[in-house]
Chains A and B, each alone.
Chain A
Amino acid sequence: MSREAPLPAKSDGPAQSLSHAAIDQALLDAREKSLFQTALSSQALWVTVALALICLVMGYLQPESFATPENFYNITRNFSFIGIMALGMVAVIATGGIDLSVGSIMGLVAVVCGLTLQAGYPWWAAFLDGLAAGGVVGLINGLLVAEVGLSSFVVTLGMLSIARSVAVVLSGNRMIYNFGPGGPIFKKFGSGEIEFWHWGDHSLALSYPLLILVALTILFAVVLKMTAWGRYILAIGGNEQAALLTGVPVKRVKIQCYVVSALAAALAGILNVGWSGSAINALGTGYELLAISAAVIGGANLMGGEGSAYGALIGAALIFVIRNALLMAGVDSNWQGTFVGVFLVAAVYLGKIRAKRA
C-alpha cells in the first residue's frame, strides 16, 4: 500500500523514539490519499483533460472558426443554461434521487415570465414570478418524494408532463414576444455581456449567463464542502438510513434539494427567455436529459452520495464543446446525439474502473 501516507511504524525501529503527540498528529493529518491523488481519481478532472484536448485539436484544425472569441462566447453562453440546471440536478442526484421535470419547469417559467412582462409589469416582477413558479413546482416534487415517499423518478416524470401541459395552457399555445416596458432590462440578463479584452477586430466578451453559472458553481461548491447542509446531501445519498438514525433532517433536506433543482431550472429558463427575446412553451424540451448527462459526466453518481459543482459545469461544457466541434468539423448535426451519448456512457464506465482500482 504505497499510497498510504507515511505512518510511524508500530513495531520496533526509530519510530519508537517519536513522541505520542507526534504519532497522534501524524494519524490526524494522514489521509488515505493526498490531495493530488484525490484530484487524479476525480472524474471531473479527467473530463477537464478531455475537454482541453478537444479544444486543442479543434483549435489546430479550425483556427478560423473554432478558436475565435466569438465562438468561445457562443459556446460558453449556450452551455451556461444547461450548466445552471445541472448544478441543481447534482443536489438531487447526490441524495440518490433524480429530477426529470427541469426541462418542463423551464417551459413553464418562460411562459409565466412572458405573460407577466406582456401584462406590463416590471422586469423584477417577471423575475420573481418565474422563480416562484419554479419554486412551487420543486416544492410539490419534494413533498411527494420526501413526505409521501413516492419514487423521485415517477414524481418528476409526472411533473415533466404536468408542468409542460400547464405551460401550453397558460400560453394559449402562442409565442409571447411582446414584452412591454419590463422587456429591455429582463432581456439584458440573458443577452448581456461584459467585455474583458479588446484587440483589433476581436474582443473577448463573457455573457451574463456564463458569469452567473460560474458564480453559482463557486457558491454551490462552497456549500457542499463547508456547510452541514452540503454534508447531509451526501450523507443521505450515501446511506439514508444512517442519516436518519444519526438525526439528519432527511425529509427537509430532500425537499430543499428538489426546490433548489427547480429554482436552478427556473433561473435557466429566465436567462434563456432573456437571451432569445421570446417565451415559448416548448422551451427546454429534452433539456432534463442534457442536465442529467452533464451532472453524470461530471462525476455525479446516480446511486447517490457523489457529485460536485465543478463537475456539473465541466460536464455541461463538454457536451456543448462536442456539439460545436462536430458542427465546425462539418459533421452532419444529426450525429451529435451519438457522440454525446458515447461520451456519457464512456465517462461512467471509466469512472467505474477507476473506483475499482482506487
Chain B
Amino acid sequence: MTAVLELKDIVKHFGAIHALNQVDLSLNPGEVLGLMGDNGAGKSTLVKVVAGNFPPTSGEIRLAGEPVHFSKPVEAREKGVEAVYQDLALCNNLSASANVFLGREIKKRFGPIAWLDHRAMARRAGELFGELKSETRPRDLVKQMSGGQRQAVAIARTRLSKAKLVLMDEPTAAISVRQVAEVLDLIRRLRDSGMAIMLISHRMPDVFDVCDRVAVMRRGRKVADKPIGSTSPEEVTGLITGAIHVA
C-alpha cells in the first residue's frame, strides 16, 4: 500500500528558530495519526508545511508517492489535502453555507454571466451538516454559532472535495463534551471512508480514543512514533515533557 503522506527530513527555520528538525513521518489510507507535543514543539508548523501555508526549508513531501511542492493552501487542496485550522479560518460575517463554499461557490451560468446558486449551496451544506449529525443551519451567520457548530462548518469544508488527507489542528479544543464525542465520531467516519487523518491534540483521551498511532514532537523533533496499543498515556506524557527522552 502506498502511503498517503510521506515526509522525509523536513526542516523548517524561521530565522534562527529551528521549528522543525529532520522530521520523518508517513501516513496510510484509513489511518488516524495523533500528533502530540507541548506548545511550541512544532506540531502546528508541521501541519502548515503539509497544508501548503509555507514550504519547508528543506526536505521532501510525497503525496501518494509523488513529490509535491506547495506554496499556497489552494495547491495542497487541489492535491487532496484539506486542513481544519485551530482558529477555524471562518468569516463571522457570512453564513455557514457561505463559509463552507468560500472559494469554491456553486454557480449558475448564463452565457458569460455567472451568479451564486444560494439554494444549491444551502442544500449541500445542509446535507454535509446532516452527515456530521450537527444541528448547524446553513443560513445562520457564523457569528451567532456555538463552538461545536463552528467546528462543524470548518469540518464540512473538508467533505466538499474528496480529500485524501485531512489535517486537524485542535478540533476539540473549544467545544463541549458532547460535541467532542461528535467530532471523534466524525473522525472515525472520515477514516472509514478511507481518508487519512492527522489529528493534533492536547487532549490525551481523544488521541487514545480515536487514533491508530501516535507521534510525539518535542523541540522540533519527532521523538516517538508508535502504535497506540503499544504505548500508554503515561509514556506519551513523559515523552511530551521530556521526562522520557526517546521511545
Contact = CB atoms under 8 A, between A and B. Distances in A.
Interface of A: 24, 27-32, 226-228, 231, 234-235, 237-239, 241-248, 305-306
B178 interface: no
Interface of B: 53, 72-74, 77, 83, 85, 87-94, 98-99, 102-105, 107, 114-116, 122-123, 126, 129-130, 135, 137-141, 144, 157
A235 B85 contact: no
Given A231-B98, A242-B102, A248-B102, A31 B89 contact: no
B231 to A, nearest CB: 33
A242 B103 CA distance: 10
23 contacts: A24-B130, A27-B129, A30-B140, A32-B139, A32-B140, A226-B116, A227-B115, A228-B107, A231-B102, A234-B94, A235-B102, A238-B91, A238-B93, A239-B89, A239-B90, A239-B92, A242-B89, A242-B90, A247-B72, A247-B77, A305-B91, A305-B92, A305-B93
B102 A28 contact: no
B116 A243 contact: no
A234 B130 CA distance: 27
A29 B138 CA distance: 8
A29 B135 CA distance: 13
B90 A306 contact: no
Contacts of B137: 27-28, 30-32
A226 B89 contact: no
A243 B93 contact: no
Contacts of B139: 28-32
Given A27-B126, A31-B137, A247-B74, A238 B94 contact: yes
Contact of A235 (B73, B91, B116, B141): B91
Given A235-B94, A235-B102, A228 B89 contact: no
Given A24-B130, A228-B105, 20 more contacts: A27-B126, A28-B137, A28-B138, A226-B115, A226-B116, A227-B114, A227-B116, A231-B105, A231-B116, A234-B91, A235-B91, A239-B91, A239-B92, A242-B89, A245-B89, A246-B102, A246-B103, A246-B157, A305-B91, A305-B93
A228 B138 contact: no
A32 B92 CA distance: 14
Nearest to B130: A24
A124 to B, nearest CB: 24
Contacts of B138: 27-28
Contact of A28 (B53, B98, B116, B123): B123
B85 to A, nearest CB: 7
B91 A242 contact: yes
Contacts of B104: 246-247
Contact of B94 (A27, A29, A30, A231): A231
The interface centre, meaning the residue of A31, A241, A242 with most chain B CB atoms within 10 A of its CB, is: A242
B126 A24 contact: yes
Contacts of A28: 122-123, 126, 137-139
Nearest to A358: B144
Q: Which interface residue of B73, B88, B91 has the most chain A CB atoms within 10 A?
A: B91
A164 B193 CA distance: 62
A247 B70 CA distance: 13
A88 to B, nearest CB: 20
A28 B85 CA distance: 26
A147 to B, nearest CB: 16
B116 A237 contact: no
Nearest to A27: B137
A243 B144 CA distance: 19
Q: Which 4 A-B pairs have the closest CB atoms?
A: A238-B91, A247-B103, A242-B89, A305-B93
Contact of B102 (A27, A237, A243, A305): A243
Contacts of B88: 242
A244 B87 CA distance: 14
A15 to B, nearest CB: 13
Nearest to B115: A226
B89 A246 contact: yes
Contacts of B122: 28
A30 B129 CA distance: 14
Nearest to B77: A247
Contacts of A244: 73
A16 to B, nearest CB: 16
Nearest to B97: A28
Contact of A31 (B99, B103, B140, B157): B140
A228 B101 CA distance: 10
A248 to B, nearest CB: 5
Contacts of A245: 53, 73, 83, 85, 89
A242 B142 CA distance: 13
Contact of B116 (A27, A228, A238, A248): A228
A247 B89 CA distance: 12
A27 B87 CA distance: 26
B133 to A, nearest CB: 11
B169 to A, nearest CB: 12
Contacts of A27: 126, 129-130, 135, 137-138
Nearest to A304: B93
A305 B95 CA distance: 12
A302 B73 CA distance: 28
A32 B53 CA distance: 34
A43 B231 CA distance: 59
Contact of A32 (B77, B83, B107, B141): B141
